[in-house]
Structure formats: structure tokens, C-alpha cells
Amino acid sequence: MKEWFTAADLAARALPGLPATDRGVQSLAQREAWGDRKNMAGGALARKRAGRGGGVEYHYTLLPAAAQAKIMIDLAPEKAKKSAARDETSTAAAWAFYESLPDARKEKTIARLAIIEEVNGLYRGGLTKNLAVVTVGKRHGVTPATIYNWFGLIAGVARADWLPALAPRHTGRTKTAACDEAAWEMVKSDYLRAERPTFESCYRRLKSAAAAHGWAVPSSRALERRMEREIAAPVKILARRGVDTLKAMYPAQQRDRSVFHALEAVNADGHKWDVWVKWPDEDKPMRPMMVAIQDLYSGMFLGWRIDKSENRESVRLAIGDVVEVYGIPGHIYLDNGRGFAAKWLTGGIPNRYRFKVKDEEPVGILTQLGVEVHWTNPYSGQSKPIERAFRDFCNDIAKHPAFAGAWTGNTPLNKPENYGSKAIPIDDFVRVVAEGIDEHNTRTGRRATVCNGRSFVQTFAPSYVTAPIKKATEEQKRLWLLAAEGITAARRDGGLTLMGNRYWGDFLHGHRGQKLVVRFDPDNLHDGLHVYRLDGSYLGFADVIEDTGFNDAAAARDHGRTRRAFIKNTKVLLDQHVKLTGREIAAGLPTPENLPPLESKVVRMAAQPGYEPLMKRPNGPEPVTLSPDEEAEAARIIAEMNGEDAPGAEIVALPVSPGQRPDFKTDEDYAHWVLDNPELADEADRARVGELMNNPSFRLLMGAEAQEKSRHA
């Protein structure tokens, strides 16, 4: 690239920051003494022009920066672009190298720059450059050759980048001991194993193999330093301690939960308690499993259920508690680990109940309610703050004095001295856990950003009052209850029996003996059942029927009162349906006199005189012809039967008087006679008719007139 220009050349190029005429450029050169200017190496920046005409040429570095850039772009655009890119890269690399230096070497670099600035100051003050270098060198104990070497380091370098350019470049001893490549690969592979062998044991095995293969192997310390230098610490952690330990080396994400409001987002997870608990139906104690729901905004626990295992029934019921008490959350974060998600999808214990539980996925129910489900990493406290709270429970609740002797220890190697000496009844365990969770929610002094010293409850309440909360309808609340299929209603009264409890509602009379579906809460069986047909249509709510003591008179009176009310209401319903008496019904029936005459549908044609059928068909057997003796014997027998000595000839039928009791074919005839003839009926007749009239069906048969006579009899 051309570097020297005359005043006329510079004026013709119309460079920024320069006059546009030859005379103007010459005047600028005189004012700024371009003819006396020298570069850092002492070379002149103005020279006589060779060739005809003479004149003076100036180096382009005398020009303003904008003019220099314009000349570089015009004369060598591609080269200038590449040079600028190289300069930018080299500048960044120089500063990166300077930053990597220890403080002692940085101080040496700063001292070099101070000496350079001092030399330039004396040079600008009028001393020659050589005299300035010698003077400053004597003052600081540095030879002139060293100072000139430093000037060589910054030659052509921008003033802003002199500091990294002057940095010492010596790196010390870099020679490494010889090591066969196969030996190096062997010791690396041996050391980077999950069994975590010591480096000394790996080196001993390497020495043994090197002797057999003739490998050149340096000392143990030399190989260990090389391993520290060439293999990054995260690689060692991954190989020797696994992914989980490697994750801990990466900074945790700090999540701001203040972006939510109360109940906008919740997280759920399961926690297995380190306490032996005794269930009434189990021979051996078990460690209970709790499914809990926590509000992400405040950290408050909103709902929880305890069961023998982690199953989707307990998950459904725990979320159902939150929906019923507080409302429907917008988001829910669930553990995607095998221990939680698999039980969520499969239901855990298949034979927990002695009836078929309807297969309903909780995730599907959440989707129906518009809740967005998020699956998080298992055992991730950053993803689910509830796991941090579970660690508090391990200390504050699991080690409660009420559980002394029942604590199992948090690992098999951390069992207490009194391990297995006691098991807590499930009712007592649930009570202590409830008290502990309540204390956890109401404890003040919380240091979370949204809490600011308040308790979780105090943080949750103000936001909950002002937040747009979606409440569940009664139909939506029932979605969370467990659905038991194939429960048969009793044939006598329609009652239902579930898990030893009896339930009844008057609507069940229409479904006696039928198989039904019931929804229930297994932890609150006395709350009653919601009853459905097998096709899913809702029937009604059945209350629980409590068992009472044999000698409980008050309970007997209550039961009798409710039964009488049931009978009375049923009678009212019957009266609403039955509008006609038996006589009115009978009066509406057609009588023989009122019946229309029957019309013959089959007509037999009359035979014409002299007509003879082709074939006579006898209607019966041919009559038998008696002999004369047989006819005489028959006549004698007939005469004896009709004679005066015949049996029954003396029996005379007496007429019945009007006041005599007739024979009755039915109870209805008997009752009508007694009511119509009270003077002929005795006390027994009236008592008998009274018993008959107590029957509603008999009263309906007798009619209103007979009922009126019975009341006045």
C-alpha cells in the first residue's frame, strides 16, 4: 500500500479532516511541523520527493485518524478489512493474556509503560530521543537497549493497547518429561473410573505394564501434574462421582416466585416418613407415605394425604382438598421421577380395596379443570421448593418427642440405638403431623423474598384475597372423589354398604337390586356417598347410617321419628297420585247392559232346497242301539230314582227370612252387610270389619261411602 503523499495528492483525495487545496495542506503541514516529526523508531515522517519537480512527501501517519482510515480503505479495501479484523483479534488476545498474568508480572508491565511515557515526555520537551532514553534508563536502572526493545514492542500499536503489548512474554520452564502415548492413555482410563481408585494405585499398575511393554514413563508427580493440567475438574467429577455430583458444580438457578400470586401455581410431591407407623389392618409396622401440595408463591402447605404407599388415589384426594377449600390452581408442578410418576400413572397397590376402583387418570382430571401440568426433574429443590420443606419435616416432625422409639433413621447406616422399639398408631401419627404442618405454615421469620419476615400463612392470605381465584363447582369437586364400581343396592330398602358402613337416600328405592357407581373419600367415609348409574349419570347423595347402641333410647326415638316422617311423606305422595276410589273406578267400567251388541264376523250361507253335500261328515260317534232287555233295565232304574223312596226326597228347602244372616262369598260382601245392617251384626262382626277397614287397599275397595259408615259405626 502507498504510504507517502505530496500535499497535492492529499488535497486531490478530499480526505476528511484535511483542506481540499494544495496550499491549504501545505499551511497545515507548516503549522503542525510535519517536517520535524519522527516515528517511535526515530525515522523522519517527511522526506524530499524523488524525481522531476522535487517537493516534499508526507507519511500518511501524520494525518488525522479519519484521513488515515480513508486512505487505507481506498488503496487496499480488502487488505484493510482483513487487517482491521486481525488487529481486533490480536487486541482482544493481548488483553486476555494480560488479564491472565499474576499481579507481580502486571506490576512489571505497568513499570515499563511508566518508563516509556517518561522518555516520550523528555522527547517532547526538546531532548533527543537517545538522550531521553539514556537519562531515564540511569534513573530506573534499565539499560538503553532494554528501553529500545520496549519501544519495538509497541511500534505500530495503538496507544490504548501499549499496556498488554509491554507485558512480559516469558513463560518459564515448559519442558515436559517424555511419556509414551499408550502409557498416558492407560493411566487416564484407569484413574477416570466410577470406583475412584487413588492415583498412586493407578501409577503402580502403569509401571507394571510399562515394564512389560517397554514404555517410557515419567515420575508419578509429573503424570499427576499433567493430569491436573490437561483434564478439567468437571471431567474428573463426572467420571469418578457421577452426574448428580457434576450437577452440583453448576450454579443453581435462582427463581423468583414473586411473579405468581397465591394459588396461581402449586407443586406436589411425595415424602416417605422415617417413622414406624401401625395400621389396624396390618400385622407389621410400615413407613407411611405423604402426598403434599404447596403454594409456590408463599410456600404454604395447602393440602396433604397420608397413605401406605405413593398412589394416584392419594394424589387425587390431596389435590381435591386444595380445590375444594381454596380453588383451582392455574399451574401444577409434579415430579417426573420414577418413584412418583409411575405410581401416578399405575395407581400403586392394585388390590388396596375389596372392590373395583374406576380407572381415572388424575392428569386427565386436571386438564378438564384447565390446570396446566408441568413435569419437573426428580429430587430437584430448584424445580420444586416443596423438597426443601420436606427436609425441615425430617427434623421438626419425624424426630418429634411423640415419635421417640419409632424413628427409623434417614439411612440404613444411621439407625438410632432404640431402632424398632416402638410403632405409632396411625391416628396419633396423623394428629402430630397435622400439628407440625400447621406450625410450619404459621412460623414467622421466613427469609424468602415474598415473605420478608412473615409466616407462610401471613404471606398467602393478602394475595389470596385480592387474586382472581377460580372456584370449583359442586360437580367439579366430585371429580376428585374415588369412584367404586359395581356396588349393589339392597333389594329390600335400596341401601348401600361400603367398607363396613351403610348409606341410604330415598332416591335409592327406584334402584333396589341394581349395580351402581359411588364416589367417596376413603378418609372421610362418614361424609356420605355420591351415587351414579353405571353409565355415569348422577342420581343423588346418600347419607351414612350410623350404628347405635342396643339400649340407646334417644337414638331409637330419633329413628322412629324419621321413619314415621318417611311413611307420612309417602302417604302424601300416594294421595297425590290416587284421585279415584274403587267404586268410582268400578263405575267407569262398562256393564253388560251398556255393552254394545256383538256382531257376528263369520256368516254361514243357507243351503238351497234339494242341496246335498258331496260328503256327509258326522259330528260325533254313531248312537248305540240298546237291546229290549237293556231298555227295560234302564227304565226300572230311572223309576227307582224318581220314586218316593229315593234319597233326598224328604229334604225340603226352607225360604230365607229377610232378617236372617246370609252366606258371604267375599270379605267385601261381609263388610257391606255388617255396615248396612248394624242391628243384626254383633260386637265380633264390628271388630272384624274394623280390622279390615284398617287396610288401605280394603278401604279403597269399599269406597268412600263405606268408609264414612265405618267411621260412624
Q: How far apart are CA 4 and CA 337, in angstroms?
A: 75
Higher pLDDT, 144 or 380: 144
**Tally of CB atoms within 10 A around 202:** 22
Q: What is the pLDDT of residues 668-678, one digit of tens each?
A: 888 888 888 88
How does the average pLDDT of the chain come out, rounded? 80
Q: How far apart are CA 277 and CA 583, in angstroms?
A: 72
pLDDT of 485 reads: 64
Give the residues across from 331 on adjacent strands.
265, 372
Q: How far apart are CA 333 and CA 529, in angstroms?
A: 30
Question: Radius of gyration of the chain from Cα atoms?
Answer: 57
pTM for the model stands at: 0.49
Model confidence at 239, pLDDT cuts 50, 70, 90, reads very high
Which residue, 87, 94, 90, is CA-closest to 164?
94
Which residue, 441, 386, 382, is CA-closest to 267?
386
Alpha helices in 218-361 (DSSP H): 220-230, 233-241, 243-249, 312-325, 338-346
Give the residues across from 504 on adjacent strands.
543
pLDDT of 340 reads: 52
Which residue, 258, 306, 290, 262, is CA-closest to 457?
262
pLDDT of 76 reads: 60
Q: What is the pLDDT of residues 95-124, one digit of tens each?
A: 888 898 899 999 999 999 999 999 999 988
Q: Are 80 and 105 within 8 A, CB to CB?
A: no
Catalogue the E-assigned strands of 521-574.
529-532, 538-545
For residue 166, is pLDDT > 60? Answer: yes
Average pLDDT over residues 586-614: 58
Q: What is the pLDDT of residues 380-418, one digit of tens each?
A: 555 578 888 999 999 999 999 999 999 998 888 788 888
Average pLDDT over residues 644-660: 48
pLDDT of 370 reads: 82
Place of cell 484413574: 191
Residue 252 is given by DSSP the state P
Model confidence at 35, pLDDT cuts 50, 70, 90, reads confident
Q: Are 32 and 7 within 8 A, CB to CB?
A: no
H or E, element range at 175: none
162-171, 255-264, 606-615: segment of lowest average pLDDT? 606-615
81-90, 330-339, 467-476, 582-591: segment of lowest average pLDDT? 81-90
For residue 627, is pLDDT > 80? Answer: no
- Domains plus CATH for the chain? 4-75 (1.10.10.10), 104-165 (1.10.10.60), 181-249 (1.10.10.60), 257-474 (3.30.420.10), 481-549 (2.30.30.130), 667-712 (no CATH)
pLDDT of 392 reads: 92
> How many angstroms separate the Cα of 691 from the Cα of each of 295, 580, 644, 688, 696?
70, 23, 51, 5, 11
Q: What is the pLDDT of residues 551-565, one digit of tens each?
A: 455 555 565 677 677
Max mean pLDDT range (215-219, 587-591, 671-675, 709-713): 215-219
